[in-house]
């Protein structure tokens, strides 16, 4: 409902306009994102099947990897279909409550991914720095508790921000959202910005600090190993995790930087980086772990070479 000064009172329907400034080519921008989504969906699904079907992979590291794959599937699925609806089928409308729910899903799964990366770093820290204690520390019960914790932490932290938008902030400058996914703009957003920054530090910032400390301690321990073969083996177990860690947080940094820099960057640059931040990790993670993790690579090769593979694919 429009009111004075061009503001809108809690619109029931919003419109996502995609990438302002790229309207002429927006139809084509959906193609690479669709390809990334299909590859991410296929790769992460295959990763889940391999881990679930192989008893030797029922270890904390691979259980966390399965959680990461499931999170990547959910995160990319929460973004790409609506993005393609905007760019290919000209379907920008979305209900206000559905937009809030999508915001909750996106931020929750971002937080889960960050928490899983922290869990994987801590698992490698114990395995390399305190190998004799790994089996007693990372029990099935602890792994289950970590899974519940990394899920509930962002899910609960995001809810107050959405309640502020729903209940306290009523005036919106426009019903149009210059993005491919929901980012609501209100008349008074100071409280939301403050809480958003607090939540980002509580989840992403704290996780980044702890992951960095874990890998720093891992490097110190590895360099002290007397045998070259032992050092190489320890490095090889950490390389996939570090690759995923760096790609996730580097993209997060660039997305955050362009968003906070005001008008220094065109809006489509920020939107593109935001999309890449959310889609590149799900796209690359199966490749990183499939190539660098021997057990997964061998199982994937065996599965593809098996005569039963076509039957497995169908069913």
**Pairing of β 171-172 and β 8-9:** antiparallel
pTM of the full structure = 0.88
* pLDDT reported for residue 5: 53
* pLDDT reported for residue 314: 46
Give pLDDT < 50 ranges for the chain: 1, 308, 312-315
* pLDDT reported for residue 138: 94
CA distance 144 to 164: 32
Residue tagged 């390809």 (tokens): 35
The 8 Å CB, 24+ separation contacts for 170-176 are: 170/9, 170/10, 171/3, 171/7, 171/8, 171/9, 172/7, 172/8, 172/9, 172/10, 172/11, 173/6, 173/7, 173/8, 174/6, 174/8, 175/8, 175/11, 175/13, 175/14, 175/15, 176/14, 176/15, 176/17
CA distance 164 to 63: 36
Return the half-sphere exposure (C-beta side, CA atoms, 13 A cut-off) of residue 86.
28
């Amino acid at each position: 409902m429009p009111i004075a000064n061009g503001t809108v009172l809690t619109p029931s329907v919003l419109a996502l306009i995609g990438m302002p400034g790229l309207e002429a080519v927006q139809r084509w921008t959906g193609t690479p994102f669709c390809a990334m989504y299909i590859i991410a969906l296929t790769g992460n699904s295959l990763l889940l099947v391999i881990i679930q079907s192989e008893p030797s992979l029922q270890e904390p590291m691979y259980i966390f990897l399965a959680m990461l794959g499931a999170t990547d599937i959910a995160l990319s699925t929460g973004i790409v279909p609506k993005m393609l609806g905007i760019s290919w089928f000209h379907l920008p409308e979305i209900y206000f409550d559905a937009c809030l729910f999508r915001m909750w899903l996106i931020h929750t799964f971002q937080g889960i991914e960050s928490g899983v990366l922290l869990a994987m770093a801590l698992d490698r820290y114990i395995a390399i720095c305190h190998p004799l204690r790994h089996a007693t520390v990372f029990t099935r019960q602890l792994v289950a508790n970590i899974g519940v914790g990394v899920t509930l932490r962002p899910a609960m932290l995001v809810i107050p921000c959405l309640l502020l938008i729903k209940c306290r902030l009523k005036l919106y400058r426009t019903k149009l959202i210059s993005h491919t996914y929901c980012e609501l703009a209100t008349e008074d957003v100071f409280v939301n910005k403050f809480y958003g920054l607090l939540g980002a530090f509580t989840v992403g910032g704290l996780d980044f600090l702890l992951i960095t400390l874990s890998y720093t301690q891992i490097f110190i321990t590895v360099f002290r190993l007397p045998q070259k073969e032992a050092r190489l083996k320890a490095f090889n177990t950490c390389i996939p995790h570090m690759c995923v860690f760096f790609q996730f947080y580097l993209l997060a940094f660039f997305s955050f930087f362009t968003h906070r820099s005001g008008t220094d960057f065109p809006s489509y640059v920020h939107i593109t980086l935001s999309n890449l931040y959310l889609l590149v990790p799900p796209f690359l993670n199966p490749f990183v772990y499939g190539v660098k993790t021997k057990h997964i690579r061998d199982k994937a090769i065996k599965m593809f070479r098996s005569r039963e593979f076509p039957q497995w694919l169908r069913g």
